[in-house]
Amino acid sequence: MLVLLRHGQASANAAGLLLGRTDAPLTETGRRQAATLAPLLGAVTRLVSSPLVRARDSAAALGLDLEIEVDDRWIEIDYGTLEGAPLGSVPGEEWRRWRADPTHRPAGGETLVEVGTRVRAACEDLFATEGAGARDPAGDVVVVSHVSPIKAAVAWALGAGDALSWRLHLSTGSLTRIGWAADGPVLHTYNALPVPPVL
């Protein structure tokens, strides 16, 4: 099973800012969210993380006795000049262009298609049955990442296009599972939260 965890709440999330590549730290709520995910995990053979501190710290908070492998392909989308902007300040025309066209690039940033391309490659590597990075049937691979890459992985699993991202909501501190089916990936769980949710 490929288990995708969205990092816990970061300071910029709490402030309602567009958070991409900024290395914002976890809040105390974010640390609790990450730790609360640990009991939802089964046997884990690999722990992979985005290079950003909020993902690496969330991975560490799981308390697994595994090396955290950093994979740059799981980094959040680059929002370019929109990075750090309050969500409500992004012009409506920018949102409309972005939602209508997955190849739309915010000034200085990254397109949804580019995110999808790098995440699909990462998923294919994790699903490999042979080679150095071949999956271990004895347990799951856990990847701690961000909203855009996890949505891209779900689109990959469903055989959908990158525009699917706009039709999915993904909470901080949530869990998504993609199974290792014989004929391709299968989405088992999306946006699961511990019960009761950590506020």
- Catalytic residues, which ones? 7, 76
The amino acid at residue 185 is P
3-state helix vs strand vs coil in the chain, percent to 5: 40, 20, 40
Phi, psi of 46, rounded to the nearest 5 degrees: -140, 145
* Residue 124: strand, helix, or coil: helix
- One-letter amino acid at 115 equals V
Q: Residue 103: phi, psi to the nearest 5?
A: -95, 0
Sheet hosting strand 140-145, strand order edge to edge: 68-70, 44-49, 140-145, 2-6, 175-181, 184-192
Give the Cα separation of 16 and 145 in Å (integer): 19
What residues contact 11, with CB distance under 8 A and at least 6 apart?
Answer: 24, 25, 26, 27
